[in-house]
Structure 1
Amino acid sequence: MSNGGCGVGGGGGGGGGIATRTRVGKYELGRTLGEGSFAKVKYARNVQTGDNVAIKILDKQHVLRHKTVEQIKRETSTMKLIKHPNVVQIHEVIASKTKIYIVLELVDGGELFDKIVNHGKLKEDEARRYFQQLINAVDYCHSRGVYHRDLKPENLILDSFGVLKVSDFGLSAFAPQIREDGLLHTTCGTPNYVAPEVLNDKGY
C-alpha cells in the first residue's frame, strides 16, 4: 500500500462561496455510488489524466475491529494478479492514518442483481451473453490459480455497454490453499448461494 497525500483540496468556486472537493492523492472524490456494511464506494476523477474511477473507502478502525485485514489484503493482491476485460481492474491502494482507499475501474451499469430485480428474468440471448462473459472470467482466474468463491449476481457488475465484470474478491483463494485431495475446505460464501458440499465440509 502506498501512503497517498490524503486531504481536502480546494475546488473551483464562483460567486460568494468556494466549493471544496475532497482529494485523495491525485483523485478528486465525487458522489457516492454505493454503500455496504464495510465500505463506501465513491466516484472519483484522476486530476492528472482526467480519467474517471471508483474508489472503495474502508475505515481502518472498522477493519481492525472486525478482523478483516487479511481479507482486504487478499482481495487487493488477488485483483492485482487478474487483468481481464470481464474482471473489475484495480489501479492502486492508498492508505491514510484512518482510511484505506482502493482505486478501481469505474463500472457504471449497476449490479446484475438489480437488473434482474428491476426487469425480471433475462431473455435467453442476454443470459447466454452474460454467462459466456462470466465463464471467460472464471476460466482466466482459475488459470492464474485464483478461485473467487462468492460468485453471485450482487458481485457481477455491468458497464454501460452491457459488459459483465466480476468484482469483490474478498473471499477468494489461491491455488496453494488447495489440499492434497485437490479440494478447498474453508466454509465460506453467501448462504443463499453456497453449494451443499461447502456446507457439508466435504471439500469443493
Structure 2
Amino acid sequence: MAEAAAGRKTRVGPYELGKTIGEGSFAKVKLARHSRTGDVYAIKVLDRNHVLRHKMIEQIKREISTMKLIKHPNVVQLHEVMASKSKIYMVLEFVDGGELFDKIVNSGRLGEDEARRYFHQLINAVDYCHSRGVYHRDLKPENLLLDLNGSLKVSDFGLSAFSPQTKEDGLLHTACGTPNYVAPEVLADKGYDGMAADVWSCGIILFVLMAGYLPFDDANLMKLYTLICKANVSCPPWFSSGAKKLIKRILDPNPHTRITIAEMLEDEWFKKDYKPPHFEQGEGVSLDDVDAAFNDSEGTS
C-alpha cells in the first residue's frame, strides 16, 4: 500500500493523514479522515524496519489478528491494517473525549459512584479480553480514553505486549508497564499470570480515581518497588468501607490469593449499579489485510 503525498496531505489508501496525536518508542498515532466517507480515525504508524530488526513479525501479527476479533464497546476498535515498504498502518477507532487521566488532573478526584461506573466499564473490557487470551500489561489512566458520551474505551489492548510472551511454564516474563501500576510479581521477574497482573493495575486505577493520587509512589525507583512489593495500602478517610475492602483484596501482593474478576463480580461494593455489557459478537472478521500487510516482509532482514 503506497503512501501518496497529495499537496501537503499524506494519503494512505483511502485515508488522509493529519496531525500526530500520540507518540511511542517506535510508533506514532495520527489523526486521519476517510476520503470517501469523511469518517475520522486514528492511525497507528509502526516502523517496519524496527519490527523486523526485533523479530516481532509473528508477535505483532498475532496481536493484530486478536485485536481485530475483539469487538467490545469498552475497547478501542481496530478496523484494518495496511502497509507500505517502510511502515505498517493500523486503522483504529478515534475516541474524541480525551483521556480519563485528564479528568483526574482537572477534577482532583472523582466521586465514588462516578469512579465505580468507570471501573465497571474497565473490568468489563479487561474480562472480555482475558476471555480471548489477550492481556494488556500496561493499564493506566493514560490508556483509558473517553468518548463524548462519557463511555470508557481501553486503548492499546494487546498491542502493548510486543515482546516474546509466554514461556514454557505458561507465564509471561517481560517486565513492562508503568512502574506505579505494575504488579509486584511482574517486578519480581519470576514469571507471572497476565490476568492477575491486569487485575492489580485495575485496582491501582480505581484507587487513583477515588483518591486523586497514587497508592505507591516514590521518586526513587528501588524504594517504589519496595513499596509495591510490601503493598501496605493506606486508603484515605473518604473511601467507604466497601471500597476499602475491595481495594485491599485487589492490591494483594500474592497473585494466587488476589481477588479474581469472577469474585469481583460478586463483591457488594462492585455490584452496586452494575450493568453487564450488552453488545453483538462480531462475525465474519477478515484477517486477509493482516497477512497482506506482513507478507512481503517475511524472510527479509
TM-score normalised by length of structure 2: 0.56
- 2:111 corresponds to which letter in structure 1? K
Q: Indicate conservation of the 8 Å contact 2:167/2:173, yes or no.
A: no
Match of 1:6 in 2: 3
Tell me by how many angstroms 1:43 deviates.
Answer: 1.1
Structure with bigger helix share is 2
Q: Is the 8 A contact 2:27 2:46 kept in 1?
A: yes
Distance 1:88 1:194 in 2: 22
- Determine the C-alpha separation between the residues in 1 that align with 2:132 and 2:53: 32
Higher-strand-fraction structure: 1
**Deviation at 1:172?**
4.7
Instruction: State the partner residue of 1:13.
Output: none
1:189 maps to a residue whose letter is C
1:203 aligns with 2:200: no
SS of match in other structure, 2:4? strand
The answer to which of 154-163 and 64-73 deviates more is: 64-73
Residues 145 and 60 of structure 1, relative CA distance in 2, 3 Å threshold: closer
**Which secondary structure does the structure 2 equivalent of 1:77 belong to?**
helix
Q: Could you tell me the percent identity over the aligned residues?
A: 70
**1:75 offset after TM fit, Å?**
3.3
Kindly provide the amino acid, as one letter, of the partner of residue 142 in structure 1. Answer: H
Task: Specify the structure having the higher radius of gyration (Cα).
Answer: 2
Residue in structure 1 matching 2:99, options 106, 111, 129: 111
| Partner SS for 1:198 | helix
- Correspondence list, 1:181-200, <5 A: 184-190=171-177, 191-200=179-188
Q: How many pairs does the alignment contain?
A: 188
Matched, 1:44 2:41: no
* 1:128 corresponds to: 116
- Structure 2 spans left out of the alignment, 5+ residues: 194-301
The RMSD of aligned alpha carbons is: 2.5
Structure 1 runs not aligned, ≥5 long: 11-19
TM-score, reference length from structure 1: 0.80
Equivalent AA in structure 1 for residue 176 of structure 2: G
Alignment partner, residue 158 of structure 1: 146
Does the 8 A contact of 2:2 with 2:85 survive in 1?
Answer: no
1:66-114 Cα shifts (integer Å, max 9, x gaps) = 5554553343122112100100000111110111111000112222223
